[in-house]
Copies of this chain bind each other. A is one copy, B any other.
Amino acid sequence: MNDVICTVDVVLLTIKDNGLSVALLKRDREPYKDVLALPGGFVHVREDADARGAAMRVLKEKTGIVAPYLEQLATFSGPLRDPRGWSLSIAYYALVSFEVIGRAGHPDVQMLSVDQRLELPFDHRGIVDAAVARLRSKSQYSSLPCYLAGDTFTLPQLQRIYEALMGEPLNKVSFRRKMAEMAMLEAVEGRMEAGGAHRPAQLYRLKPALREHLAVLERGL
C-alpha cells in the first residue's frame, strides 16, 4: 500500500553450556543467501491474524518450534536495513529450554552464543542485542527465566539459569526467598533427580496459571 516491506524476525534464545545462545539459520534466498541470520519472513496478509501470528508461523516453519513464551520486542525500520527497499521488521523474542531445540531436531538451526562475535546481515545483530538486554533486565524482577528451564527443574538448575542471565553468582538463601515470594513454582510429586554426590533434589515446575503471565518481584534480585 505504501511500499513498505513488512517482515517479522524472531530471536529464539536458550541456555546452552551455562550461557545464552540464539538460533540462527542460513538464509535460503537473496539477499544474503547462505548467510546465518535470524529466522524471519514476510507478513502474509491472507494468513496471519496479526504480527504475533506471523512470528509464530515463521518460527514454526523455520525451526519446528512452538515457543511457550513469545514477546514483541520492538519494530526496526528504515530505508537502509534491507537492500530491497524501505522495510520494517516487527521483532519478537522467544524462550525455550535447550531440550526443546533438541527435540525439534531441525538440521538447519545453529545455536550460537550471544556473547561471541556474530556478523549478521540486515540489522540482526542490533535486534539480538536488544532482545538480550530486554531478557536480562526483566530477569532481575520476574519469573521470565523459568521459560528457559524446561518443563521440570530443580532449584539449583533454576538458580544457574538466573546466574547465567545476570552474569553473577546469587546467594542461595536469598534466591530461594525471592522464588518463594513470586509464588510461581509447584513441586512435582514423587519426582526427584539423582544428584550425584548430593541427596536427590525436589523437582519443580511453573504453576499452570503462570505459563502465559509473568510473576513479578516488587524488588529485584
Contacts and interface: CB of A to CB of B under 8 A. Distances in A.
A90 B75 contact: yes
Interface in A1-38: 1-6
Nearest to A78: B50
A14 B92 CA distance: 30
Interface in A151-198: none
Contacts of A209: none
Contacts of A45: 2-4, 79, 85-86
Contacts of A4: 1, 4, 6, 43, 45
B49 A88 contact: no
For this chain, the copies found in one complex come to 2
A86 B2 CA distance: 12
Contact of A43 (B2, B43, B50, B74): B2
Nearest to A51: B77
Nearest to A44: B2
A103 interface: no
A74 to B, nearest CB: 6
B5 A5 contact: no
A42 interface: yes
A117 interface: no
A220 B217 CA distance: 11
A43 B87 CA distance: 11
Contacts of A44: 2
9 contacts: A1-B5, A1-B6, A1-B84, A1-B85, A43-B88, A49-B79, A50-B77, A77-B90, A219-B219
Interface of A: 1-6, 42-45, 49-51, 72, 74-75, 77-79, 84-86, 88, 90, 218-220
Leading 10 A-B pairs by shortest Cβ distance: A45-B86, A50-B78, A51-B77, A4-B6, A1-B5, A50-B77, A75-B75, A75-B90, A2-B42, A3-B45
